[in-house]
A = this chain, B = another copy of it.
Amino acid sequence: MREIGIGLIGTGFMGRAHALAFHHAVSTFELSVKPRLVALADADAARAERCAADWGFAKACDWESLVNDPAVELVAITTPNRLHYPMTMAALAAGKAVYCEKPLAVTLDEASAMRDAAKRAGVVNRVGYNYLQNPMLKLARELIESGELGEITGYHGEFSEDFMGDPQAPFSWRCETEQAGGALADLGSHILSLSRFLLGDVAALCADLHTAHAERPHQGGRRRVEIDDQAHVLLRFANGAHGTLATSWLRHGRKNHLAFEVYGTRGTLAYDQERLNELRLYGTGGRPGLDGFRTLLSGPHLPDYAAFCPAAGHQLGYNELKTLEVRSLLEALAGNGALTGVDFQEAWEVERLAQAVRDSAREERWVRI
């Protein structure tokens, strides 16, 4: 079978998640191409060496060599946000396919440049919006598209966690302005992408960005924080629905609260990533008095669940969403583009919304998209 040489940059949370996903895609699916783990790069060279050995990469190197290594056909980028742009551009310049973590870039200009470069290079390009791979969310989208909920009228979308909820939580790269840091970039990008996945284009928005904690501990002292701890947004979708969106990393008790409610003229859908195998559906038109929110459980009637387990209610985990994303990426590399996945164009749309949120908040006004 044809093999694809993989170069992975970054060995943090997502670096490992990518590595696992490449392995698991192979063990789980009958793929059209097989990934070969060629090279692993990290700022910390010793760590790169150790991880390369542990994770089955043939070698470790610096990222520039990786990007230019002829054996590398796909570059997976899992470094902090600010590095997505230079690494992607270098990879595209070298003619490599790119699988970049979200958010695509720090500024909309960079995002545009990346999208254009990818288009010009004509290579497969994907962004790590893994949550959209959840078969329950694909079901959600199908229900919306099939008209099960009627015409969509209302929406609430949210992505909240609490890892910065303690005012003494330390400054990290996620707090740097030059990383387009902040909850909006870090978490908001996911809920923006999910909102688009479910309801399509946003026509206009009005936003409020809020920095609750203006300083954070940093290297023994304190450092000023300029990015947002939370964002609140009014949304009007092109399909006519109105709603709200919130994202925050201050919300105690929320560990992975990527959640939405979609309201239509005939029914309602609700979801919370903290129970990623469930979907709550309310439909009108049944026997009077016997309506109510129904808790659907994931199961093998959903092909992307069946790929992992033939029994309902046994549950997929977070890593398996990444495996699904990598599968879809590998199939795209094999020329089989039928599977879902977020490409640079779509990730750019997310950045466009994020930029609109920033503009709107700064100027305190509605922004048409």
Contact = CB atoms under 8 A, between A and B. Distances in A.
Interface residues of A, number: 92
A194 interface: no
Interface stretch (A98-106, A121-129, A307-315, A348-356): A307-315
Interface string A154-184: 1010100101011100000000000000000
A27 B30 contact: no
A23 interface: yes
A154 B248 contact: yes
Contacts of A256: 311-315
Secondary structure class of chain A's binding surface, majority of residues: mixed
Nearest to A207: B234
A323 to B, nearest CB: 10
A214 to B, nearest CB: 11
A366 interface: yes
A255 interface: yes
A357 B110 CA distance: 37
A243 B231 CA distance: 8
Contact of A154 (B139, B230, B366): B230
B313 A316 contact: no
A65 interface: no
B281 A290 contact: yes
Contact of A292 (B248, B253, B257, B289): B253
A236 B17 CA distance: 38
B250 A153 contact: yes
Interface in A180-219: 206-208, 210, 212
A293 B253 contact: yes
Given A234-B232, A274-B313, A294 B291 contact: yes
Contacts of A296: 289-292
